[in-house]
Amino acid sequence: MVVLTKPAIDHFPTVKNSFKSPSYFNDIPVIDLSKPDSKNLIVNACEEFGFFKVINHDVPMELISKLESEAIKFFSSPLSEKLKAGPADPFGYGNKKIGQNGDIGWVEYILLSTNSEFNYQKFASVLGVNPENIRAAVNDYVTEVKKMSCEILEMLAEGLNIHPTNVFSKLLMDEKSDSVFRLNHYPPCPDIQELNAKNLIGFGEHTDPQIISVLRSNNTSGLQILLKNGHWISVPSDQNSFFIIVGDSLQVMTNGRFKSVKHRVLTNSVKSRLSMIYFGGPPLSEKIAPLPSLIEGKNSLYKEFTWFEYKKSAYKTRLADNRLVRFEKSL
């Protein structure tokens, strides 16, 4: 008897290809950071999409390329070596397993806490280089991206007429800010044709729990966002720009005026995708609640909670779960 072995991709989640919708969406808001009058556009983008693209930023390309090349070096090393930097619990090297609650995707990644020493030594043994190389590349990149995030959050506060305008940015600037940095590598999946008009999921649909996420990828597309009308749209890749994602905590602080956008990544059959994401979060002890000036005459939609409480609860959920529902007020 001939026993056919099932291809590994059979075990991975897929989505149906939709041939009806256009493959790329060209109406994603683009914010030119060199223009001082962008604040109202940022507010509109956060209200309509919870997502926008940033151009003319001041993050030096040299820092991005340096980190990208360190990441490529790491992901190109043998699996047995990479596994030494794992498992992701939640920090470390992870392969196909996302989080601790049974989610999987066609992705390998490194997850780091940006404000602790963490185990750069582990990575160094894999890279065979001085631990300072990767540590410096991550630190330099995160410092610049955090600066840009704060600039954006201050413009956003101004656009919302909130005073002082550092109400959001001070949370990221706090030395105890609980921020995370992630490098995702989505290897191409040549067997994808076997899936019959289906796409393999690299990173399943979810919202990001923090305040703001800043995503940069190489020129391989795959990122999709969910529009208010329920349609998934593909975001054309742009390696010279950043994509900003509204997180759950910003949704709460704006009393639901901004929505944390659902997003996911689909695998490419030919090209690999490399993304780097900074997730800007508040200190663990910070109380998260709607800002009084954004409640004004309306009901507060959320109970007050600390970031520690939210994170603890979020990390017990599956990727696609609505993590905020537990914190909504019953009106």
Ligand X SMILES: C=C1C[C@]23C[C@@]1(O)CC[C@H]2[C@@]12CC[C@H](O)[C@@](C)(C(=O)O1)[C@H]2[C@@H]3C(=O)O
Residues that bind Fe ion (CB under 5 A): 208
Q: Which residues touch 189 (CB under 8 Å, ≥6 apart)?
A: 9, 106, 200, 267, 268, 269
User: Taken in order 42, 256, 313, 322, is the CA torsion positive or negative?
Assistant: negative
Q: State whether residue 134 is helix, strand or coil.
A: helix
Residue 254 interacting entry, from Fe ion, ligand AKG, ligand X, none, C-beta within 5 to 8 Å by type: none
Q: Which is nearer to ligand AKG, 200 or 223 (CB)?
A: 223
- How far is 281 from 173, CA to CA, in rounded Å? 10
State which amino acid sits at residue 297.
G
Q: Which residues touch 297 (CB under 8 Å, ≥6 apart)?
A: none
263 binds ligand AKG (CB under 6 A): yes
Using Cβ positions, the residue closest to ligand AKG within the complex turns out to be 275
Residue 291 interacting entry, from ligand AKG, Fe ion, ligand X, none, C-beta within 5 to 8 Å by type: none
The count of chain residues that interact with ligand AKG, using the rule CB under 6 A, is 11
Q: Which is nearer to ligand X, 39 or 311 (CB)?
A: 311
244 binds ligand AKG (CB under 6 A): no
- How far is 157 from 284, CA to CA, in rounded Å? 22
Q: Which is nearer to ligand X, 203 or 302 (CB)?
A: 203
CB hemisphere CA count around 44 (13 angstroms): 10
Site for ligand AKG in 70-99 (CB under 6 A): none
Q: State whether residue 123 is helix, strand or coil.
A: helix
Q: Which of 43, 63, 277, 301 binds ligand AKG (CB under 6 A)?
A: 277
Q: How far is CA 122 from CA 93, 274, 276, in A?
A: 10, 21, 19
Q: At its nearest, how many Å lie between Fe ion and the CB of residue 81?
A: 27
Q: Please answer whether residues 249 and 208 qualify as being in contact, where contact means their C-beta atoms are separated by less than 8 angstroms.
A: no
184 binds ligand AKG (CB under 6 A): yes
Is 273 known to be catalytic?
A: yes
- Residue 242 belongs to what H/E stretch? strand 242-246
43 binds ligand AKG (CB under 6 A): no
Q: At its nearest, how many Å lie between ligand AKG and the CB of residue 213?
A: 7
Residues in contact with ligand X by CB under 6 A are 90, 98-99, 101, 103, 111, 180, 182, 206, 208-209, 279, 314-315, 317-319
Q: At its nearest, how many Å lie between ligand AKG and the CB of residue 37?
A: 29
Q: Which is nearer to ligand X, 160 or 201 (CB)?
A: 201
Helix axes 120-127, 61-76, angle to 10 degrees: 70
Residue 201 interacting entry, from ligand AKG, Fe ion, ligand X, none, C-beta within 5 to 8 Å by type: none
Q: Which residues touch 63 (CB under 8 Å, ≥6 apart)?
A: 137, 140, 141, 144
Q: Please answer whether residues 183 and 241 qualify as being in contact, where contact means their C-beta atoms are separated by less than 8 angstroms.
A: no
Q: Which is nearer to ligand X, 21 or 113 (CB)?
A: 113
Q: Which is nearer to ligand AKG, 165 or 220 (CB)?
A: 220
**Which residue in 135, 216, 264, 273 is the catalytic one?**
273
Site for ligand AKG, rule CB under 6 A: 182, 184, 203, 208, 215, 217, 223, 263, 265, 275, 277
Active-site positions read 273
